[in-house]
Structure formats: C-alpha cells, structure tokens
Structure 1
Amino acid sequence: MRSTESISSGNVSADVAAACSSAPGIGAHLLKRLPSGGWRMALLMCAAGAFGALALPPLTLFPVIIPSLGLLYLAAQAARNWKQAAWCGFFYGMGLHTAGLYWLTNAILTRVHEFWWVVPFAAPGVALVIAPLIAVPAVVCRYGAPGWPRVLIFAGCWTLADMCRVLIFSGFPWNPLGSALEVPGRAGDVLLQPASLIGVNGLTFCLVLASLVIWLGRRAQFGVLAVFGLWCGWGSLRLYHARPLTVPMPVVVLVQGNVSEDEVLGHIDPAEQFGHYLQMTARGVQQAETLLARLRQSPERGTQLRGIAVVWPESAFPALLDEQPVARQMIARASGNALALIGSDRRENGHWFNSLEAVGPQGRLEAIYDKSRLVPFGEYQPWIIPFNLLPGQLTPGAGLVRWDLPQAGRVGPMVCYEVVFSGGVVARQARPDWLLTISNDAWYGNSAGPWQHLATGRMRAVEEGLALVFANNRGPSGIFDSLGHETAHTHWGQEAVLVAPVPPPLAPTFFARFHNWTAGLSAFAGIVAGFLLSWGRKEEKPR
C-alpha cells in the first residue's frame, strides 16, 4: 500500500478553512497546525490512538478520549480527499488497538522458542484487521455539513463499525470505547447504569458523541456537562431504588490456584496440581459451610440461600474429567455435599472441547457445557490462513445453555472469551438467575489483559441485570452483583479461595429484552439525522 502517496502533502488551505468553520476556538487553532499529510500525519494519528487507549481498562482515564478523538475528527475534516481521511482513521486504529492489546505478546512469550517470529506481530497483527473499521467514520463524516451533522454522522458510523467486529472470524468485540466508563468503585457503578438500557455499544455512541460535541463551542460544552449531570443522577437513582428479586442463591467457593503457564508448559506434575486444588477446595468448603450456617440464621437472608457451589477455573483439571471417575469421586469428597463446577478439556468422537463440567456429591457428572465461541488464532485457526499454524485446534460447542441444578440454581455457564460478547451471554428463552465465567488468563501475565477481561464481566452484569461470578486461574477473580457492583474479589498472582454468596438478580433489564437493537438504531438514527441536517446546505462537495 502506497501510504506516502495516499497521505501526500499538498495545498489543503481550502479544506482547512472549511473545517475551521465547524471547529471554533481551540479546534480551529489545532486545525491550522495539523500536518498536511505524509508520515507526520500517520505518526500523529498513531500517537493519538495510542493516547486514547489510556481510556480503556484498567486505567479508565476516559477524559483522554476528548483530545484523542478530537484530533482524528479534525484531521478527517482537513484531509485533502477521502483517501487521506481513510488513512487517518486507519492509523488512528492501529495506535488505539496496538496499545490496547499490547498484552497479547505475553502469550507468545510463554512459547517464544516455537513462535519467536510472531512476537513483533501479535498486537499489531490484530490491530491491522480491525483498524480499517475506524476509517469508516473518518470518511463518511466528510459528506455531512460541518458542525452537528458531521459529529452525529461520525459517532453513528463509529458505533456501527465497532459493532461489526462481532463478524470478524468468530468475533472480536474487545475494548469498545464504552468500556472506558468502567471506572473502579462507586463512581464506575454510577456511570455504568445506562448500560442496562443501551449496552456497552450505546455507551460507545454516547461517549464518542460527547467527546466531539465539546469541540463545537462553549454552548455545546455546557450542554455536555448538563447531560453528564443527568446521566450521573439517573445512575445514582437506579443504584438506590433497585430491588432484586427474591430468588434462592448459592454460596460459591471460588478456587484460584495460581498455576502459571510456565509451570504448565514446564510439565508440572498433574497429580500435584490436582492435589493442590483439592486441598484448597476442602478448606474453602469449610469456610462456606460456616458462612451458610450464619446466613441462614438471618431472617432476611435465610430463605434466599441454596447450597454450596465450588468453582474451579478454566482447564484447572489437568486431564479429561469426564473420563476419570476416580478423580470425580475425589473432587466430590473434597467438596462434601457441594456441587463442583470444574474447568476441563474434553474429547468426543475425535473432537476436542474446552468445557465446564458439573460434578455432583457422588462424583456423577450432572451437566457439561462446551465453549461455543472460540478465540481466533488461540483455540482455532480461521480458514483465511492457508497453512497449519495452530496444532491441536478445538471444536466449538452447540451454544449457550442454562443449567438448573438444585445446589446452584439456574446458572448461565460460560468459558473465558464468551463473556466479551454484549447481548450474547444469555441463552434465548432461558434466562438464568446468575452468570458464571471461568477463565485462565495466566498466559498474559500481570498486564492489562486480565483486568480488561474482568471488566467485561462487570459490564455484562449491568446489561443483563444478573450477578456474575468470574473465576480466573491466576486472577483477578471477582463477583459482581446485578448492578455491576463488585462484592468480592481476588488480586492477580495470588493463591486464594474466595467464599461469598451470589447476589440475587433483577427483573430483566431493557437491554436484556432488546439487546443491541437500541444502540444500533440510535447510531443509525444519528447518521440519518446528520445527513438530514446537511440537506440543502451549500457546502463544497468533499473529495
């Protein structure tokens, strides 16, 4: 690709003058000083995108989106033609996604002797696939009139393009900009509540729109502040007035074994790993029995409790659990009368699955769930690659299910990556009372990756109005109530047993009923409104 020709320097004074009319104040000042093209513009857009990645979890410095997106928006307006605007969007996307996904390289480093040549391409390679989507708003907004029309078109196109990431391979909707509102603590609880109406994609639309409206002048800035106040007020009211349903819920024993990938790949003794988990399970069940007895004495909580559910993370069992009846009996003994939900690999008719298996008190398999959304290039190789890069590929399961188990209640099981899909975590016509995700993010070390993964669980809890239990091998692990408030957690790199009751659900949220239709229609309406507002305005046709 001839980027030096596509982003070529030239006389852009007319374009800058037109763009300045829609970007008063500091926006016009910056427009006059933007590089006209070439490698300087490409470098500036990459830097702006990387700076915007600071808004993503775990830092969640969401105000940085304002200057970051603002630079892209101004550069797209000042571009000499649509091709230059597209390159601006592409390079911004490369910076944003390479910085936001830098931690992917850590997984390669665990097997660097085999895949050393992939190290420089891990994060940039993924960014290369999804960065072109950001070219869409950068190009399309130029066809609207300056000011509000372009801002509406840009925000709508960004949101719809971002939602299209679920269509790439098996889907990769990681790090939508709406996740920038997942600020830790009470402030984040307040900011996230509108996700119960519009989901994370709706948050993305609102955040992009607000970040660009600020550039339209002082009146627009006051308007954004007023809307932000209403946003926080509504979120606070929802937190205060929410009334969970009266549903019996279990006490979970979440076992975080803290087994590193170096230990696994270094052929740690499977019996030692298994025994380690059994000891932690027995200790956790004792704590859970004490907690359960105390809670049952409470007139408020006593009738809202089931039994005990032990949770082991993804692939915690170092063999094939469904083929090991003796091992299942050992798990049952360590668990006492509790139900054990164990992450294990599974094979059937020559196919391999990444599974979550429910082991009853007698060691009998009560239920099996096979992961249905696999990680591209991690668990399976997309067909687009003509040679065998990934040995030992997995087979996707049949789809989401709901388990109805006496001790755990109605639970929606998921494995790892599946929790990142907004509107895709609950089986249709089978709403559970709580969600469970097991994962093993040890591959990525103590980087942003595991924390971003945990943050997606928090977002799904708010969207669906369901508590979510997130069990991770090395952490962080946690429990979120149906409002997204963290009720219990562990840190990364700890051997820990987390014992806590699962919070009850809310009635189905607006988002749970309509999923991403609200965000998609809002984004589409923004685009239509932008073009309608542009109708009849005498503006020079963009090139």
Structure 2
Amino acid sequence: MRKTLILALIFGIVAALALPPIYLLPALWISLPGLIWLIGRAGSWKQAGLIGLTFGFGLNVVGLYWITEPILIEAAQFWWLVPFAVPGLALAVGVFTAVPAALAWFAPSGLPRLLVLAGTWTLADLALQFVFTGFPWNFWGTDVAIPGLIGTVLIQPAAWIGVLGLTLCIVFVASLPALGLRGFATSLVLMIGWAVVGGLRLSSAKPAAPAAIIGVIQGDGTAEFVSDRTAAVALFRRYLALSAKAVAEAQANNPKNLPIILLWPETASPFQLQTDAGARQAIAETVGPDVTVIAGMLRFGADGQSIYNSMGVLRGPGPLLASYDKWHLVPFGEYQPAWLPLQILPGEGFSRGTGPTTLHVPGIPPVGPIICYESVFSGQIIKESDRPDWIALSTNDAWFGNSSGPRQHLAAGRMRAVEEGLPLARAANTGISAIFDASGREEMRLGLGRQGNLVAPLPGRLPPTLFAYWGLWAPAVLAILTTLLGLLLVFRLRRLERS
C-alpha cells in the first residue's frame, strides 16, 4: 500500500501541471488513467478513498502553494502558519477527491468506473463550492482556459454547462486511455469534437454593439498599502494620475461620443468616498464631471461599526451614485468563521453584503459588480432576475505575489464571462488586469508589476446563456445523469454475469 500511495501522490503532482498558468493538459491523460489503475488495485473502498485523498493532496499542495504568499506578508504575526497552511488546506480539499475515488471503486473496471468517477468528481467539486464557506478554486474546467485562441475555443461549452460541466468532460475524456488503445482513440475524437463545437459557437456569436468606453486602471501598489496610510494615499494619487491619462486616451479615440467609465481595483481609495467630499472632489477634478468612476473602497454601515469591502460609483463631486458590498468574504482573510474556535483575525473583520446585484447608474450600461474572491464562485455572481450588460471585477492580487495565484484567479474570471455571456473588465491593483469579451476572448491585458491602464470600447453582451438560465443545476444534473449511467451499466454487467 505504501508504494501505491507514493504513486498516487506522484500522479496528483503531475495532474497539477495542467492547472493555470502551466496548462499542460497532457498531464491529465497520464495522471487520471494512473488514478483509475490505482483504484482498481485497491483492496477495499477505504483503500480507494485513501488513494484519492493522497492524489488530491499532491494535486493541491502544488496547485495551492501560493497560499503562503499572503501569510509571509504578515510573517511577524503569522509565521507559525507557514508550515501548516498549504498542507492543511490541501488535505482538507483532498477529501473531495477521496469520496469520488471510493465510490468509483464499487463500479467494475472499464466504462462504468470512468462514468462514476467523472460524475461523482463533479458533484464533489460542486459540494466544495458550498461546504465550510466554499473554496471553488482550481476546478479542472479551468485547465482548458489556455491563453489565446485554443483556450477561447475550448471554454465555449461553459456557456451551457459551466466550469463544473467542463470539469466532468475533462475527467471523463482524460480517463479514457485507461481503457486501452481504443479508449485513447475515443478520447482524441472527443477532444476534436469538443474543439469543433467550441469553434462553431465562437464563430456564431453576435454580441451587442459597444455602449461605453472602459478604462481599467492598474496602480501596482504593494499589499502593505492596506495597513500603511502613507502608502495608501500615495497610491491614491497614482490612481488619479493614471486616470487622467486614461480619460485623455478615451476622449481621443471616441468618435461616437460613448460614455467613459473608469474601473479602479479593490480598496484603491483609502478615503471613505461615501462621506469624504474632498476625495470625491479630487477625483472629479482629475477625470472631469462626465466620467463615471467605479472605485474599490471601504464603507462603514449606518451603525458606524460594521465595515464593508465595497465598490462605489461616482460621477462628479456629489454623493455616490451607487455602491456594492462584497458578500462572499475570504475566510481568515476578511472574517473569522464562527465554526472555528481558534481566533486568528483581530476583531470581527468585514461585514457581509446582501448578495449579487445589478447597479443601474444613469448614463452607463447596467453593471454586475464583483470583488476579488467572488469571481471564483461559478453561478453565484450575477442577479439573473435583473441581468446586467457587463461585469466589473475589482481585485487586489498583490497578496499573491508573483505566483500562480494571480494567473489562476484571472482564469476564473475569464470563465465567468463565458458562463454568463457578458463582457468582463478586471482591474487588479498589481496585475493582472484585463478586458474579456462575452465569449471569453481576451481583448487587452496588463501584466503583473506594471503601472498603466487599458482603454478600449466595452465589448457588447451576448443573449443569456443556457448556464445563465439554469446556473449550477446544469452541471449538477449532468453529473447525476453521468453517475446514473455508470450505475446502469454496472447493473447490466452484473445481470449478464448472472445469466
């Protein structure tokens, strides 16, 4: 069993090579058949579950190593967490790999086992989005979000089945070589079919005409600006200077006189914009009275005690036109989960907003705001009953350093654009800022560690996608049907054996 677990760990590490930003997809065609083989060698479902846990541990230790980065920023206080954070989180997430492996053991080898594994793997990932506040990071569906045309083609089915549906497809197709040469050939044919379907959808997409000019501002401030008032004010002034340049560029390339919108990153303003008239005046004097600015900020509640991680919308020096409060907070980063008795964060942290919303601001297209971590929650970012025309994502990825974290976070945001059929503008304090159209095609990008702006016509929306209508029910039903098909084949094989 010891050698088996070592192999499971190796296969898990190999599988992590397919994650962003490496995108080495062939690694899954090695690691998944390897996992299937190891499950078949297990003497019991408990051993199979342990194999799955070990596989998931290897996968997530590599895929989540960047978790150490924000801890190191506060190393003086949290140094003791460094050796435990990544292995502990990898072990916890690995449980959601152990369950599908254990259930797949009950199915006989061959197609039934592949179907049960693919279906239950997807259901486990769906559970991972909700259990213990949820941590839907690095779903295998994002492995096909490869930068460039090939990735844009392969992510198109997410408009129907979401990133979790793509995960199911990946698990099944990459496992097929476990069936031998015929399985490998079938896998190749299915991948070609996948690309053809994606290409057809991409070529037939007819988005609405641009209704605004978007300027995405990236100031490249270090994570310390959150607690260093002097650094925060200096960064605010930098955002003013970059915004002035973005407005000049937008005005020079705006023959249709479209409204101009500037998007600042998370907590870009150290001032309370809802009450600080001086800060609003400074922004208005910099960008002009007709430019709309959507800025990350902090906001105090009416009680004067609760504090929210927010986005404020302003035009001119007057009161805010609208605001949005982040509702999917980062556990241990923005609040202390009640179910953990160990106190890690000082105080009570941030208060929670009311959920996804659409901001209707006169003069600009209706916008669906999301802040940082919220962008990884498939099917939970848009108020579908009041559908916006675009998504504004503000984040501060300086916490992740120059690691895989910002790249993985970017890939998640791109998937949300495809799922919802909405263009997405992403402003990241230190990168990666980007503009995606409603098909997930990257229009512009500003990389890590750079100051600057992205100015372009805001891509138009597409009609509501199937995923926009069905949400997480789409991949859930697909996963259940896949699992039931596997079980049906199991019963059929056993009936044939009896006869």
TM-score range, shorter chain: over 0.9
What is the Cα deviation at residue 225 of structure 1?
1.8
Task: Name the SS for the 1:276 alignment partner.
Answer: helix
> Aligned residue for 1:83?
46
Once the two structures are superposed, the pairs formed by residues 82-481 of structure 1 within 5 Å of their partners are 82-246=45-209, 249-262=211-224, 264-265=226-227, 268-293=230-255, 296=256, 306-336=258-288, 337-348=290-301, 349=303, 350-392=305-347, 393-481=349-437
Q: Structure 1 residues 253, 133: closer, same or farther in 2, change over 3 A?
A: same
% same residue: 41
Say if 1:145 and 1:533, in contact at 8 Å, map to a contact too.
Answer: no
What is the Cα deviation at residue 128 of structure 1?
2.1
Task: Name the SS for the 2:133 alignment partner.
Answer: coil
CA RMSD of aligned residues (A): 1.6
Distance 1:414 1:497 in 2: 20
Task: Name the SS for the 2:259 alignment partner.
Answer: strand
Distance 2:127 2:419 in 1: 19
Distance 1:437 1:250 in 2: 16
Give the length in aligned residue pairs. 492
Task: Name the SS for the 2:385 alignment partner.
Answer: coil
What is the Cα deviation at residue 77 of structure 1?
1.3
When normalised by structure 2's length, the TM-score is 0.95
Q: Deviations over 1:398-448 (max 9, x none)?
A: 111111223331110111111111111111301111001000010111110
What is the Cα deviation at residue 41 of structure 1?
2.7
Q: Structure 1 residues 269, 509: closer, same or farther in 2, change over 3 A?
A: closer
Distance 1:352 1:489 in 2: 32
Task: Name the SS for the 2:307 alignment partner.
Answer: strand
Amino acid at match of 2:311: L
Task: Name the SS for the 1:435 alignment partner.
Answer: strand
Distance 2:481 2:225 in 1: 52
Say if 1:478 and 1:488, in contact at 8 Å, map to a contact too.
Answer: yes
Say if 1:435 and 1:468, in contact at 8 Å, map to a contact too.
Answer: yes
Distance 2:381 2:447 in 1: 25
Distance 2:233 2:268 in 1: 12
Q: Deviations over 1:364-394 (max 9, x none)?
A: 2000100010011111111222132111411
Q: Structure 1 residues 432, 266: closer, same or farther in 2, change over 3 A?
A: closer
What is the Cα deviation at residue 133 of structure 1?
1.1
Distance 1:271 1:423 in 2: 36
Amino acid at match of 1:134: T
Task: Name the SS for the 2:321 alignment partner.
Answer: strand
Task: Name the SS for the 2:296 alignment partner.
Answer: strand
What is the Cα deviation at residue 527 of structure 1?
1.2
Say if 1:284 and 1:498, in contact at 8 Å, map to a contact too.
Answer: yes
Task: Name the SS for the 1:375 alignment partner.
Answer: coil
Distance 1:481 1:396 in 2: 30
Q: Deviations over 1:435-467 (max 9, x none)?
A: 010000101111100111111111111111100
Say if 1:332 and 1:363, in contact at 8 Å, map to a contact too.
Answer: no
What is the Cα deviation at residue 538 of structure 1?
4.6
Name stretches of at least 5 consecutive residues in structure 2 with no aligned partner: none
When normalised by structure 1's length, the TM-score is 0.88
What is the Cα deviation at residue 346 of structure 1?
1.2
- Tell me which structure has the larger Cα radius of gyration: 1
Q: Deviations over 1:295-320 (max 9, x none)?
A: x2xxxxxxxx7301111100111232
